[in-house]
Amino acid sequence: MSQFLDEVRTTIRRHGLADSTEKTYVSWIKRCILFQKYQNRDEMTRSPRQDIERFLNYLANDLDLSASSVNQALGAIIFLYKSVLRVDMPYLDIPRQKSVKALQHPLDDAEARELLSHLHGQDFLLAAIMYGAGLRVNEVCSLRIKDFDFAHCKILVTDAKGGDHRLTMLPKQIVAPLQAHLTLVKKRHDQDLQRGHGYVWLPPALRRKYPQAEQEWQWQYAFPSRQLSRHRREPENMTLYRFYVSPNSISRSIKIAAQASGIDKRVTPHILRHSFAVSMRKRGYSIEQIQALMGHKSAKTTQYHYLRSIEPDIEGIRGPLD
């Protein structure tokens, strides 16, 4: 099986999918293979639709997984058959389960500021950018030095979800602490260079085009990891890189800060992005403006997933019994 899963990983990378997508797809595909007890490729392509439906029914009925998890598994299996096994897609026209999107409870401005007051250093800056500019946790963690335009208070978000790029604002209140933070990051980078390191990972095509860029300051991550490590997708590459901080790290810090703040809501990095959208809408900005800042392809996503939690103004409305 390991050899086949390596082929799956290679196909995923050829399609340019994210690391997180690779882990998710490989996990679901492995579970499907074990469930069906496949021994070879021929068995996998003998009756794909029936096999897939049996696996999805097992997930939904026996394991009682949510509709979103089942749909995620279906996406991975469809990728397997379409891109790896190259089975005709009409046979895989399986409807997705309808998932119910839970109503989120964003933080109001006072709660957000209280939360930020319990964060310090790099954690504070990461959370402040998510709340103040609407970035996703992976987007803010992977920002590079070149992505900040301090003169115009802008952030360039590159390689966002879907591979898109966009501009958003850099909150003026964090410019000074962010610059102080980058001074420390620069000092660490200079020390790395003196020790023969100072490399940041770049896509292979970019490395070939700019051979010296890996050690240049502008390409370094603004929120670097404490450890040097090799790139797991390039086992033949022995270079030690300084990657960006793990998103799990800021997630833990935000959870601890929420508990210290006494906020009795579920607070995650995504809630900070959600709170940004709600706060901007309450300030009078249009859905289209918020959509552009958040990087949504459709205004419907902005409206339904982020702004429907805004409580309607019902003061003055009289019901039929009043």
pLDDT tens by residue, 88-103: 755 555 556 565 555 5
pLDDT of residue 94: 58
pLDDT of residue 15: 86
pLDDT in tens, 267-300: 999 999 989 988 888 888 888 888 888 887 777 6
pLDDT of residue 308: 60
The distance between the two most distant Cα atoms of the chain, rounded to a whole number of Å, is 78
How many Å apart are CA 230 and CA 152, to the nearest integer?
35
- Residue 143 is encoded by which pair of tokens? 């920002």
pLDDT of residue 318: 62
The residue assigned the tokens 């508990």 is 259
- Residue 184 is encoded by which pair of tokens? 């420390």
- Residue 311 is encoded by which pair of tokens? 């409580």
What proportion of the chain, given as a percentage, has pLDDT over 70? 86
Instruction: Give Cα separations from 278 to 219, 267, 284, 290 (angstroms).
Output: 33, 15, 10, 9
Sorted by where each starts, the structural domains of the chain and their CATH numbers stand as 2-92 (1.10.150.130), 109-307 (1.10.443.10)
pLDDT of residue 163: 67
Write down the pTM of the prediction: 0.76
Scored b (16 or more CB within 10 A) or e, 178-193 reads beebbeebeeebeebe
pLDDT of residue 243: 93
Stretches in the chain below the pLDDT threshold 50: 314
Report whether 17 contacts 42 (CB < 8 A).
no
Report whether 115 contacts 320 (CB < 8 A).
no
Residues tagged active-site = 136, 161, 270, 273, 296, 306
How many CB atoms are located within 10 Å of the residue 18 CB? 14
How many CB atoms are located within 10 Å of the residue 278 CB? 21
Give 223's Cβ-side CA count (13 Å radius): 23
